[in-house]
Amino acid sequence: MSPTEDVDAYVLKLRRQVRAAEVQLRDLRRQLVQAEKQADEARNLNKNHDRGLPFAQQSKRLAVLRNIGQEQGYEGHTNGTEDRSQYARSKRRWPLRKEEYKRYGRQLIMPEIGLEGQLRLRSCSVLVVGVGGLGCPAALYLAGAGVSTIGLVDGDTVEESNLHRQILHSTEKIGMSKVDSAVEQLRSLNPLVNYVSYREHLTPQIALQMFDRYDLVLDCTDHPTSRYLISDTCVLLQKPLVSASALRTEGQLMVLNNPSRAAGDVTGGPCYRCVFPRPPPAESVTSCGEGGILGPVVGIMGVLQALEAIKIIVAGISNPFDADGNIDISTVGREEASNASAPRQESPSLLLFSAYTSPPFRSVRLRSRRKDCVACSASATITRASLTSGSLDYAQFCGFVNPVSVLEKDSRISANDYDAQQFMLEWFRQTRGSEVYGPMTDTIIDVREKVQFDLCHFDRAINVPRSEILADDEPLRRALEELPARRQITVVCRLGNDSQLAVRKIRELRRRGGAIGSAETDDSLVMDIEGGLRAWTRNVDPEFPEY
């Protein structure tokens, strides 16, 4: 391109820019005239109606103001009486989101909750240990109430036998992690809550780190070992604890370590060890799987746990805000006793529930912290180091060895071997007659409780319940007296634990010469079925009911 062509191109470019600027200038002049006109109209409206604007002219004035606002950069709504400018909305700040007012409205209007209580709930974190019969309803109502964060701890999977009482789980979730099943259901109820999953069983090594990020703990487990561990951890971290249990048709509830104080502070609430310094005998502890549980009973106790947790959070302190106007949840449940405006601290108590008594509830007042408690007294021996190091053996402290093993290997027979033995005996009966019937046929003693025996049992079984054997020798003595000499005795129970204790009891009676017939029976002819009726169902007869 020649120099002349370059100059011509440059001139053309400038002309185009001038024309574009002239068009823009004309547009700006037109906008200015329009804006001045609207401003004059607005001033005239104010001048002519100092004492009020006639209703008929309100829409006209709003239109003028809206146009001015849009030209100044304020993008407002355009739906009539609902108009709000960006400026107005930026100045109006509500402490809760609009959907929270709607979702929690029925509890917000209660004076016991109110706005302050809801803000405490929204800023509090709760750890639920155990997602079973207690943890399901507790977590459900905490999520519904709007607790900020809910942690769920459980290492089990959903089983069909859980479904009659563990209401967060369903048939299609059998085999799924209980924690995952619960979170899925809770999130469908309230997606505004933050859920944290711990798909593992609680151990001393991880308890401190896990509990430390939460403000309140719910013990929804079903075993003494976990109850002592949870309580000890809460004392060390100064966390309030709501503990509950349920079995058959009865339940109990306690609020522990509330107010939560350091070990040695006598103003703190009692811990689990203050109430139960020593665990119950291992043989007296019965699980829901062994003793049974009525669904509504454990549901009631779980709902009460959620209620107590909400009460602690909402009434924890008199003023939830710090100097910057932000809520301070760190002092929940730790208000000073001298604060006259704080809610009155309830005396610690043990709430007992029984479905078949009237009235079903009664309360037992608890004492304050024990002076010699190993967890919360001034002379406490349980420390962070002893907990995390594993030197505290909770299973040994509670006297539990799982599974029960009190018999030698040759004193037990597997379900498969027992089935083969019975097949051979039946063959002898059919081919050789009764000459071998006496010395080779066994007697089956079923030591389950009668209500379980009535559900299903072996055809020739004799029912001598474990509870009767532990209370008195006479029922077992009478059963043994009726047996022929040298009759093999096979003891069976549901899981293969109680049957071992019964075998040992039979041998003790024989040694004391207290049972006719068994005096002539050596120990090798008294045995139990390893694994009990559950092993029989899973390995031999799938049609035999399992419950």
288 labelled catalytic: yes
- Per the CB < 8 A criterion, the answer to whether 268 and 259 are in contact is yes
Contact present, 219 and 230 (Cβ < 8 Å):
yes
- Residue 152's pLDDT band (cuts 50, 70, 90): very high
222 annotated ligand-binding residue: yes
Tens digits of per-residue pLDDT, 282-337? Answer: 767 777 777 889 999 999 999 999 999 999 999 874 333 343 434 444 444 444 33
Q: What is the pLDDT of residue 517?
A: 47
Q: 3-state SS of 453-498?
A: HCCCCCCCEEECCHHHHHHCCHHHHHHHHCCCCCCEEEEECCCCCH
User: 0.75 exceeded by the pTM?
Assistant: no
What pLDDT, on the 0 to 100 scale, is given for residue 285?
76
pLDDT tops 70 at residue 47: no
Mean pLDDT of 417-434: 79
User: Residue 467: its pLDDT value, please?
Assistant: 84
- Taking residues 29-40, report their average pLDDT: 76
Task: Give 433's pLDDT tier (boundaries 50, 70, 90).
Answer: low
Which pLDDT band holds residue 19 (cuts at 50, 70, 90)?
Answer: confident
* The pLDDT of residue 37: 74
Going by the DSSP 8-state scheme, the letter that residue 359 receives in this structure is S
- Report the side by side order of strands in the sheet with 461-463: 412-413, 526-529, 488-492, 442-446, 461-463
pLDDT of residue 312: 96
Nearest to 116 by CA among 307, 313, 324, 304: 313
Decide: 407 and 451 in contact? Cβ < 8 Å: no
Q: For the domain with range 101-319+347-389, which CATH number is right: 3.40.630.30, 3.40.50.720, 3.40.33.10, 2.60.290.11? A: 3.40.50.720
| Token pair belonging to 410 | 């040759």
Phi, psi of 271 (to 5 degrees): -105, 180
> Is 154 labelled a binding residue?
yes
- 334 assigned binding-site residue: no
Question: Is 223 assigned a ligand-binding role in the annotation?
Answer: yes
Q: What is the mean pLDDT of residues 61-70?
A: 55
Whether residue 194 is annotated as binding a ligand: the answer is no
Beta carbons of 472 and 514 less than 8 angstroms apart: no
Cis bond before residue 348 (omega within 30° of 0): no
Of 214, 58, 80, nearest in space to 147 by CA: 214
Q: What is the pLDDT of residues 2-15, one digit of tens each?
A: 656 667 777 777 77
Question: CB of 236 within 8 A of CB of 350?
Answer: no
| 220 is known to lie in a ligand binding site | no
Q: Answer for the pair 480, 517: CB distance below 8 angstroms, yes or no.
A: yes
Parts of the chain belonging to CATH 3.40.250.10: 409-540
Amino acid identity at 248: R
Residues of the chain with CATH 3.40.50.720: 101-319+347-389
Confidence of residue 54 (pLDDT cuts 50, 70, 90): low
At 112, the pLDDT band (50, 70, 90 cuts) reads very high
Whose tokens are 């408690």? That residue is 373
d(CA 173, CA 161): 12
465 vs 15: which has the higher pLDDT:
465
Whether residue 164 is annotated as binding a ligand: the answer is: yes
**Least reliable range by pLDDT among 80-84, 100-104, 120-124, 522-526:** 80-84
Query: Which member of 124, 136, 220, 288 is catalytic?
Result: 288
User: How far is 425 from 441, CA to CA, in rounded Å?
Assistant: 7
- The answer on pLDDT for 83 being more than 90 is no
* Alpha carbons 380 and 370: distance in angstroms, whole number: 11
493 is catalytic: yes
pLDDT, tens digit, for every residue of 215-249?
999 999 999 999 999 999 999 999 999 999 999 99
> How much of the chain exceeds pLDDT 70, in percent?
78
Residue range 336-387, pLDDT digits in tens:
333 333 445 678 999 999 999 999 999 999 999 999 999 999 999 999 999 9
Q: Write down the pLDDT at residue 356.
A: 96
Q: For 512-546, how does the pLDDT look when each residue is reduced to its tens digit (9 = 90+)?
A: 764 444 445 567 678 999 999 999 999 999 999 99
Confirm whether residue 234 is marked as ligand binding: no
pLDDT given for residue 179 in this prediction: 98
Q: Which fold has domain 409-540?
A: Oxidized Rhodanese; domain 1 (3.40.250)
Q: Contact, 264 vs 378, CB < 8 A?
A: yes
Of the residues 124, 136, 234, 493, which is catalytic? 493
